[in-house]
Amino acid sequence: MSRVLQTDISGRPIGLIPWERAVTMIWQGKATPYLEDGTRVIHTPSIDFPMPIILRTHSYVKLRPLKNNQIIKRVLFARDNYECQYCDKPVTLSTGTVDHVKPRSRFIKEGVGSAAANTWDNVVVACVKCNTKKGNRLPYECGMYPKGGSPKKPNYVMTIWGGKVSNPIHAKYIAEWYNVDPETLIARRGNIA
């Protein structure tokens, strides 16, 4: 059916969970519905109740930050708005590529190692055509510069939620909580891995 937005006791969004898990948490007294869908009803042998949309747990949850330079493809694509950073062409996780602004081979030549190329400030989303055209060159060598300027590490909200939310009610709640644009949270069709 659908997923339910789970929040901790403070109301802070902490995850999307299957509706079955949400119902179990309510039944066990570990959470209460914060917002319900009055048009969809869950039927049990002893009780009927509305489908939860947002669920508030009865405890505080400590969130772990993203490791320093751990590149997550879904977050990278959300950060770059699922668009090629060279030609603005829309891409998906399956049709887009990850381009290293400074090619990995340049790091190897400098004796640093290719792992140093995999940082948030050196990767952008590119369509296959642009990535092939840019090849093993630096932006100034081919006249191809990322449209947003120098890439940056995404903020915490983008890391956790970017491009992952399909329900507009969830997106609105998360956006209001973190004071961000809800469009940056919305998953585009075919983009969820």
Q: Give yes or no: residues 130 and 83 share one domain.
A: yes
pTM for the whole structure = 0.66
Whether residues 121 and 104 share a domain: the answer is yes
**pLDDT digits 0-9 by tens, 109-145:** 888 888 889 999 999 999 999 999 999 999 999 999 9
Q: Each residue of 70-83: pLDDT tens digit?
A: 788 888 887 888 89
Q: Is 78 helix (H, G, I), strand (E, B) or coil?
A: helix
Q: Cα–Cα–Cα angle for 74, 159, 103, nearest 5°?
A: 60
DSSP 8-class letter at 128: H
One-letter amino acid for residue 82 of the chain: Y
Work out whether strand 31-43 and strand 13-18 pair parallel, antiparallel, or are unpaired.
unpaired
Whole-number Å distance between alpha carbons of 193 and 182: 20
Per the structure, the complete domain to which residue 54 belongs is given by 3-64+166-184
- The count of domains in the chain is 2
Q: Is the Cα torsion angle 69, 60, 10, 74 positive or negative in sign?
A: positive
